[in-house]
Amino acid sequence: NNVEMEFEWKEMLDVAVKAAKLAGAKIKETYVQDKNVSSVEDKTVDSIDLVTDTDKACEELIFGILKDSFPSHELLGEETSSAEGGYALSDAPTWIVDPIDGTTNFVHRNARVCVSIGFAVKKKAMLGVIYDPIIDELFTAYIGNGAYVNGQRLQVDNEPTQLDQVVVSTNIGYLRSELAINHMMGTITNLMKGNLRGLRMDGSACLQIVSVARGSTNCFYECGPHPWDVCAGAIILKEAGGFMCDLNGGEFDLCSRRYIFACSETVANLILKNVQTPLLFSGED
């Protein structure tokens, strides 16, 4: 595959790790201080999706390092996209960054918080770094090289074949439309009626995806996240032997905002059978 040959993956990974660790140090420093130390604002007028000055500072820090090292690459980040009121992911080599995934956790001092730095070419995830600064866990992967946490190889737990063996995670995110609530609650109801073993909600898509990659859970699904919530996790899961698809059963697409990250296609299919009306997002009929 030509794309795989084109890039110095090891060098890129080193730079992304450096950026993630520096941003992580900033996050931890604020995290251990008084709750009121950083200003919090709503992203949009009627939204409960929060952004903090730490998010902005961390994105600037990460972008600065990536720009210095890879001036020809494009950058897509959660905070700049929010500030500019939208984003488009092109086929160009692009770093996709969530400076703090789990901002609501961060604001309330719940410990599920991380930095996510992904790299995509032709809208396909190729390299990922997810750093949890609170417990100092570093998840890394690039195409064809396996996935690791703190240097140890990651492998999904793909033994489950029925729902009563499966631990799933999702989130009741910030979507509050009647359609969204029906989708979220309907899917959970269906899974419970199917005797699902367990359901977890962590409020950090990135950490929930790597939880599947390491075998702690068997699936993460959600409608609503953006490419920066899933790009790094997608390649980490893929390299750990996992399976990904659209929540409507179609092929995985970084930009669809409807995702299933599973330990196997078997488990993805078990979840798909229980999904209540997946949501449509702007630009879809």
Q: Is 46 a catalytic residue?
A: no
Catalytic residue among 59, 79, 101, 132: 101
Q: Provide the b/e sequence for 103-124 (b: ≥16 CB within 10 Å).
A: bbbbbeeeebbbbbbbbbbebb
- In angstroms, the CA 257 to CA 234 distance is 13
Q: Is 187 a catalytic residue?
A: no
User: H or E segment at 77?
Assistant: strand 74-77
Catalytic residue among 98, 132, 202, 222: 98
Catalytic residue among 157, 202, 222, 229: 229
Query: Is the CB of residue 139 less than 8 Å from the CB of residue 236?
Result: yes
Neighbouring CB atoms inside 10 A of 98's CB total 33
Q: Is 34 a catalytic residue?
A: no
Query: Is the CB of residue 251 less than 8 Å from the CB of residue 207?
Result: no
Catalytic residue among 103, 140, 170, 187: 103
- In angstroms, the CA 81 to CA 285 distance is 23
Catalytic residue among 55, 59, 78, 239: 78
Catalytic residue among 100, 117, 130, 143: 100
Q: Is 78 a catalytic residue?
A: yes
Catalytic residues: 78, 98, 100-101, 103, 229
